[in-house]
Amino acid sequence: MSSTGRITKEQLENLAIGMEEREVRSILGSPSQTIEPRDVVTPSEAFESLGSEFRFPDQDLDTVWVYLHGTSNRRVFYLGFREGRLVTMWKATKSE
């Protein structure tokens, strides 16, 4: 399943903040997409749009990997990397 960029929530439980990109790829396989941080709304940006000053460790990301849920095209998992290491993870549900 992971070779197509589809994963389960349980697979994410095998990850740890600080892992290198190659370690993450060995656990999850290739992402369905690799995007620039400016092309996705991070949790900090979502909270900021509501007037909150709360911040997650999602600033200054170098890249974001996108994985789809194994059985749902609407659920998406985002993994944020800085300097080749995993620094944050979040999920979203597409409204489409």
* 12-44 pLDDT per residue, tens: 999 999 999 999 999 999 999 999 988 887 767
Percent share of the chain, pLDDT over 90: 50
In this prediction, residue 46 carries a pLDDT of 67
pLDDT of 57 higher than 90: no
| Alpha carbon distance 68, 59 (integer Å) | 23
Domains of the chain: 2-93 (3.30.1450.10)
The predicted model scores a pTM of 0.83
Chain-centre distance of CA 54, in angstroms? 19
Q: Are strands 6-7 and 63-69 parallel, antiparallel or unpaired?
A: parallel
Residue 3 banded pLDDT, cuts 50, 70, 90: very low
